[in-house]
């Protein structure tokens, strides 16, 4: 609750929905990043994206964010992959990982797309969590949300606030997350009374 108020830094109250996004990752040592996305309950519908690990590196350093955004934005067909594979250049640029030898990523989500239900934040956070688990990265949860916001702002190019990413990371069932969106300060939680139901 708060809608687009996070753009102006307002206080919002947020609760995750019952839908979910899940990501599985494994190293493949092929020098390629391969991403597959299953759409909701339609397990026969698989979107695929693939690139060389070297596509994200220039002269031994990670591409700058502007260069990476251009890379993922060159094809309308592959634009969606920026939300998933875009986690990697953020972790490279921010110094959390040093190299990628090859990675397979499989995404599944039933969070409604283009409905204001934080579908992009859900897949960013699911992918970030999976990659952190794979590489043994211990990133604090609030910092993880900020890194996912970088994926959306700097890789995809969508000027979202922090509300959706923070809720995807820190949200709790039947509990409202109190969040001051600038400077992304968690102000605590409020339990929802048992006799109150919320629809969106």
Summarised one tens digit per residue, pLDDT across range 145-192 is 999 999 999 999 988 889 999 999 999 989 999 999 888 899 999 999
Using the predicted structure, report yes or no on whether residue 43 has a pLDDT greater than 70: no
pLDDT band at 30 (very low <50, low <70, confident <90, very high): very high
pLDDT tier for residue 88 given thresholds of 50, 70 and 90: very high
Among residues of the chain, what percentage have pLDDT more than 70? 94
Q: Is 129 exposed, middle or buried (0-12, 13-18, 19+ CB in 10 A)?
A: buried
In Å, how far are 3, 49, 196 from 76, measured between CA atoms?
Answer: 28, 12, 43
Mean pLDDT of 38-58: 79
Task: Look at residue 44 in the predicted model and tell me its pLDDT.
Answer: 60
Nearest of 109, 125, 108 to residue 163 by alpha carbon: 125
- Entry pTM: 0.90
Average pLDDT value over all residues in the chain? 88
Specify burial of residue 148 (Cβ count, 10 A radius: 0-12, 13-18, 19+): buried
pLDDT 10s digits, 111-145? 877 766 788 999 999 999 999 999 999 999 999 99
Question: How is 124-176 classified by DSSP, letter by letter?
Answer: HHHHHHHHHHHHT----HHHHHHHHHHIIIIII-----SHHHHHHHH-BTTEE
- What residues are labeled active site? 164
Give the span between the Cα atoms of 129 and 170, in whole angstroms: 12
pLDDT of residue 2: 61
The per-residue pLDDT for 133 is 96
| Burial of residue 156 (number of CB atoms within 10 Å: 0-12, 13-18, 19+) | buried
pLDDT band at residue 61 under the 50/70/90 scheme: confident
Quote the CA–CA distance of 127 and 119 in Å, as a whole number: 12
């Amino acid at each position: 609750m708060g809608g687009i108020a996070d753009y102006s830094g307002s206080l919002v109250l947020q609760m995750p929905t019952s839908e979910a996004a899940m990501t599985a990752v494994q190293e493949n040592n092929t020098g390629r990043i391969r991403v597959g996305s299953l759409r909701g309950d339609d397990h026969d519908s698989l979107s695929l994206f693939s690139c060389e690990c070297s596509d994200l590196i220039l002269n031994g350093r990670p591409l700058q964010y502007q260069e990476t955004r251009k890379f993922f934005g060159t094809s309308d067909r592959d634009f969606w992959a920026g939300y998933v594979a875009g986690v990697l250049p953020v972790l490279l640029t921010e110094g959390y990982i040093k190299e990628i030898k090859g990675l397979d990523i499989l995404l599944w989500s039933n969070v409604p797309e283009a409905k204001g239900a934080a579908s992009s934040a859900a897949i960013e956070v699911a992918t970030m969590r999976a990659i952190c688990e794979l590489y043994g990265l211990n990133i604090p949860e609030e910092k993880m949300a900020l890194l996912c916001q970088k994926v959306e702002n700097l890789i995809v190019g969508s000027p979202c606030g922090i509300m959706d990413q923070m809720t995807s990371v820190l949200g709790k069932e039947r509990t409202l997350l109190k969040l001051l969106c600038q400077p992304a300060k968690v102000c605590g939680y409020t339990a929802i009374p048992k006799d109150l139901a919320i629809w969106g």
